[in-house]
Chains A and B, each alone.
Chain A
Amino acid sequence: MDHGKIDRSGFSAAEQQRYDRHFLLPGFGEGAQRKLKNGCVLVIGAGGLGSPLLLYLAAAGVGQIGIVDFDEVDASNLHRQVIFDEAQIGESKVEAAKARLQGINPLINIVSYSQRLTSANAMEIITGYDVVADGSDNFATRYLVNDACVLAGKPNVYGSIFQFEGQVSVFNHRDEKGRYGPNYRDLFPSPPPSGLVPNCAETGVLGVLPGIIGSMQALEVIKILAGIGEVMSGRLWLFDALAFESRTIKIGKRADNPLNGEHPTIHRLIDYEAFCGVGQGSDIKGISVDEFQEMKRGEADFQLVDVREAQEYRRKNIGGFPIPLSRLEELHEQIAKDKKVIIHCESGARSATAIRTLAELYGYTNLYNLEGGIRAYLAAFPPVQS
């Protein structure tokens, strides 16, 4: 083979040996390898999807890889999380993964974040990276990663699994004309009710499936960094492992996307646990926006209470009786005890607090939390334009 035109400047002898097959590959070569070397990728979750993602990105020579995970290696992880060894059970996942990756490729830089990704830290962590790959395992984190990527202008390489099925897409990808592709909220504007869709820990997963889906994510990360091929933007890939069938669904942008639609309402990260109804299960009764809409149309008598503050109420409301959370104890007598009372706030968090307070202090048992709050309600049932 003629290596006469090849420019391997900037690559050490060790790198030239290691990445030789990339250098040789037509349509890839030194230019693409240099982009990988200069690239920074953040992998959210060192689990089933994170394992192949991290292994392939490290082996491929991505210059800096960040890993976010708060958990420790458990024996039940090992059937699918192939980055870990038996001997690492009980260790911090990010540290165990980092050790393995440095063993595979000592020529790259691994940064570990042994913490839960939250609304408080996500922007700061994500800002330093070129590409984000989402291998998380719950809806709250998926919406958090999506929103943070859109707000920070980063591509979000999404993969997700359920039992024998997987989904892959690249969200918020900026094309050569500077236009951003669809994101997770274009596909799923609101999360399913909390507890409806079980995760791997609850329902099980075929161990090899995240290996397939996570490898697809690694492929898309490498394509984005290297600038090769057609990125999986504006398309959702569905894989059914049992049938060995896949489908590619075209997806577009929604005008009502609250992040970057025609009238954006989300300008900073929100409370994603409240948005996804997490932690409202045991002691607080919830009502979905659809159930609430049904109720409004029906005969049953009920009271709707809005616990947002006065200025929020003035900006928009859905006809609830205003009892701001800050004046709850002063005004609680105006909340009915003899019929169903639906309590809402912006996203469901403050109304949950109000319900707990009212139950504890005054013995209310007839309160229901509007899941996702006024935001979810108006997203599902936008006011009719006159």
Chain B
Amino acid sequence: MDILLFGIAREIIGDQKLRLPGDHGIDTVMGLKTWLLNNYPQMGNLNSLAIAVDQEYAQDDLKIHEGQEIALIPPVSGG
């Protein structure tokens, strides 16, 4: 499963895309957020990360699967 990265997530993970390991076992948006925070604690907190699945903002309980476009959109504040 590939995750498109934006904003500070690119800096933290060091790439524009994150490929999850094959045995990740993630099947919901909440599962993905938890995995991200466990692996990259500097990402902040669950409620400050927006996840979009197939170009739609995804609630935590949404099921996700291989083949969807999943994007991690952290907040940005610059002006």
Contacts and interface: CB of A to CB of B under 8 A. Distances in A.
Interface of A: 45, 47-50, 134-139, 142, 159-163, 165-167, 186-193, 196-200, 203, 205, 210, 236, 238, 240, 247-252, 254, 288-290, 376, 379-380
A267 B78 CA distance: 27
B74 interface: yes
A161 B79 contact: yes
Contact of B46 (A196, A197, A380): A380
Contacts of B56: 249-251
Interface of B: 6-8, 37, 42, 44-48, 50, 52, 55-57, 59, 71, 73-79
Nearest to A288: B45
B75 A188 contact: yes
A290 B48 CA distance: 11
A247 B75 contact: no
**Residue from B7, B42, B59 whose CB has the most chain A CB atoms within 10 Å:** B7
Contacts of B57: 186-187, 236, 249-252
Contacts of B79: 45, 47-50, 134-137, 159-161, 199-200, 210
A288 B7 CA distance: 21
A380 B77 contact: no
10 contacts: A136-B77, A188-B48, A189-B48, A196-B42, A197-B8, A197-B76, A199-B79, A210-B79, A249-B50, A254-B59
B6 A142 contact: no
A256 to B, nearest CB: 10
Given A190-B47, A251-B57, A238 B6 contact: yes
A267 B44 CA distance: 27
Contacts of A165: 6-7, 76
B76 A167 contact: yes
B50 A48 contact: no
A218 B59 CA distance: 30
Contact of A138 (B44, B55, B77): B77
Contacts of A193: 44-45, 48
Nearest to A142: B77
Contacts of A251: 56-57
A380 B57 CA distance: 17
B7 A189 contact: no
Contacts of A254: 59
Nearest to A45: B79
A137 B77 contact: yes
**Residue of B8, B59, B78 contacting most chain A CB atoms (<10 Å):** B78
B56 to A, nearest CB: 4
Given A49-B79, A199-B78, A249-B73, 17 more contacts: A134-B79, A139-B77, A160-B79, A187-B50, A189-B47, A189-B48, A192-B8, A197-B7, A197-B76, A210-B78, A247-B71, A249-B52, A288-B44, A290-B45, A290-B46, A379-B47, A380-B47
A199 B50 contact: no
A101 B1 CA distance: 50
Nearest to B79: A137
A49 B73 CA distance: 20
Contact of B45 (A135, A192, A198): A192
A136 B77 CA distance: 8
